[in-house]
């Protein structure tokens, strides 16, 4: 079964850091680009970041650029999101999602998503 499982969420103070993990199974992990997408409670979906199969290409939403870093470990089949200088507006459920191809780009879509992990930024 193709599966993505996020972890690492929790309550964190503004300005602090947190690292999310996403464990993959059931598919050839290093064949696919991956993404992080978030959703503030009761709000819509927001794409956060993407990474190509070989980590050469990464992209970020303007709202997190310079504060968040996406990475992956193909040997361990893990995707990560390092979140620094967290703000209250980063409070959301964070989902990892598998792209349809090696590289993200025109025509990307995600048929596999994790269940999400909640990050709450509050003092």
Partner 1 sequence: DIQMTQSPSSLSASVGDRVTITCRASQSISTYLNWYQQKPGKAPKLLIYAASNLQSGVPSRFSGSGSGTDFILTISSLQPEDFASYYCQQSYTTPLFTFGPGTKVEIK
CB of 60 to partner 1, least distance (A): 8
Start-to-end CA span in the chain (Å): 39
What are the φ and ψ backbone dihedral angles of 88, each rounded to 5 degrees? -55, -35
Looking at the Cβ atoms of 6 and 12, the one nearer to partner 1 is 6
Q: Which of 68, 90, 104, 119 binds partner 1 (CB under 8 A)?
A: 104
For residue 39, give both structure tokens: 């959703």
CB 32 within 8 A of CB 38: no
Stretch that binds partner 1, among 14-22, 23-31, 43-51, 76-84 (CB under 8 A): 43-51
For 99, other C-beta atoms within 10 Å of its C-beta total 23
Looking at the Cβ atoms of 49 and 86, the one nearer to partner 1 is 49
Give residues 49-68 in contact with partner 1 (rule: CB under 8 A): 50, 59, 61-62
Stretch that binds partner 1, among 24-32, 69-77, 81-89, 107-115 (CB under 8 A): 107-115
Q: What burial class does residue 36 get, using C-beta atoms within 10 Å of its C-beta: 0-12 exposed, 13-18 middle, 19+ buried?
A: buried
According to the binding rule CB under 8 A, does residue 120 interact with partner 1?
no
Closest to 80 in 3D by CA, of 51, 109, 60 = 51
Positions touching partner 1 (CB under 8 A) are 35, 37, 44-47, 50, 59, 61-62, 95, 100, 104-111, 113-116
């Amino acid at each position: 079964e193709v599966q993505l499982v996020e972890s690492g969420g929790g309550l964190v103070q503004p300005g602090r850091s947190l690292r999310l993990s996403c464990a993959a199974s059931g598919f050839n992990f290093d064949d696919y680009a991956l993404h992080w997408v978030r959703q503030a409670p009761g709000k819509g979906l927001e794409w956060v970041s993407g990474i190509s199969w070989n980590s050469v290409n990464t992209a970020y939403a303007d709202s997190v650029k310079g504060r968040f870093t996406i990475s992956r470990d193909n040997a361990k089949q893990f995707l990560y999101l390092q979140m620094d200088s967290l703000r209250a507006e980063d409070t959301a459920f964070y989902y990892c999602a598998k792209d349809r191809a090696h590289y993200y780009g025109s025509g990307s879509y995600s048929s596999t998503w994790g269940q999400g992990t909640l990050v709450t930024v509050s003092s």
